[in-house]
């Protein structure tokens, strides 16, 4: 017994010297035990909150990624919904047209839906953001035009335009020269282009509709227009 007591004293002395709180046996009072239990519960709650916060951050990152990714491209096409006036001007430009329509950067699908509903054109929306594509499909179903519309997740620069007689683009100024070159190669002789917000840099429009930011320009391929 005396030897054991001596070892306990040595351990306590070592703990004081080392600065470590070494407890020989359970010498805590009920009040101290209660305090320890409270600290343990707080620690567990803290861990749970960290886990929930981390999970939420990951989920938000996954949801936001399709929206952020286009902005990281060399020439991005941001999502800016068309105004009612812009949609009406596009429909005026398409008056009397037939054949398939493609909206490059279709966003929430409002141009495609309007073209299908009011101009009776078979219309396709091309959008890089998959969330907007699914939303557009839902809107088409809700408005009863899902049979005459379709929406695809695709890079507009890799899309072949030969099969579309009507091409609508809500572009940004930086992309219009590159788009003009693509159209010069791929637009059919009887096709037309409706440019919104920004005109094509060197093609001469055959007509324009609206004013200010709501202006749209109607184009034919230059050699086709001259002919």
pLDDT digits (tens, 9 = 90+) for 57-104: 454 444 444 444 443 344 455 667 788 999 999 999 999 999 999 999
Instruction: Look at phi and psi of residue 143 and say left if phi exceeds 0, alpha if psi is from -120 to 50, else beta.
Output: alpha
Summarize pLDDT for 21-68 with one digit per residue, the tens.
Answer: 444 455 556 666 666 676 667 666 766 665 665 554 454 444 444 444
Using CA atoms, how far apart are residues 225 and 29, in angstroms rounded to an integer? 95
Interacting residues of 119 by C-beta distance below 8 A, sequence separation 6+: 91, 94, 95, 97, 101
- What's the pTM value of the predicted model, to 2 decimals? 0.65
The pLDDT > 70 percentage for the chain reads 64
Using CA atoms, how far apart are residues 217 and 80, in angstroms rounded to an integer? 18
Strand 166-170 and strand 101-104: pairing? parallel
Q: Can you tell me whether residue 114 is helix, strand or coil?
A: helix
What's the DSSP call for residue 130? Answer: H
Strand 166-170 and strand 207-209: pairing? unpaired
Interacting residues of 106 by C-beta distance below 8 A, sequence separation 6+: 112, 125, 126, 127, 132, 136, 151
Supply the DSSP string of 57-113, one letter for each residue: HHHHHHHHHHHHGGGGSSS-----PPPHHHHHHHHHHTTT--S-EEEET-TTSHHHH
- Cα–Cα distances (Å) from 4 to 10, 13, 128, in that order, read 10, 14, 76
């Amino acid at each position: 017994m005396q030897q054991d007591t001596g070892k306990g004293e040595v351990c306590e002395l070592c703990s004081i010297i080392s600065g470590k709180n070494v407890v020989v046996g359970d010498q805590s009072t009920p009040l101290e035990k209660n305090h320890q239990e409270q600290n343990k519960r707080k620690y567990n709650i803290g861990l749970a909150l960290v886990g929930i916060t981390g999970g939420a951050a990951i989920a938000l990152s996954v949801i936001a990624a399709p929206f952020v990714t286009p902005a990281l491209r060399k020439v991005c096409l941001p999502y800016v919904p068309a105004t009612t006036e812009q949609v009406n001007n596009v429909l005026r430009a398409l008056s009397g047209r037939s054949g398939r329509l493609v909206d490059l950067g279709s966003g929430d699908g409002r141009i495609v839906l309007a073209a299908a509903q009011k101009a009776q054109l078979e219309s396709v929306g091309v959008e890089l953001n998959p969330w907007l594509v699914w939303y557009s499909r839902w809107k088409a179903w809700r408005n009863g035009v899902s049979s005459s519309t379709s929406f695809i997740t695709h890079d507009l620069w890799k899309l072949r335009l030969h099969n579309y007689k009507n091409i609508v683009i809500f572009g940004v100024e930086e992309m219009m020269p590159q788009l003009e070159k693509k159209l010069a190669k791929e637009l059919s002789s009887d096709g037309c282009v409706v440019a919104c917000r920004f005109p094509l840099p060197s093609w001469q429009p055959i007509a324009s509709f609206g004013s200010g930011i709501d202006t749209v320009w109607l184009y034919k391929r230059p050699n086709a227009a001259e002919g």
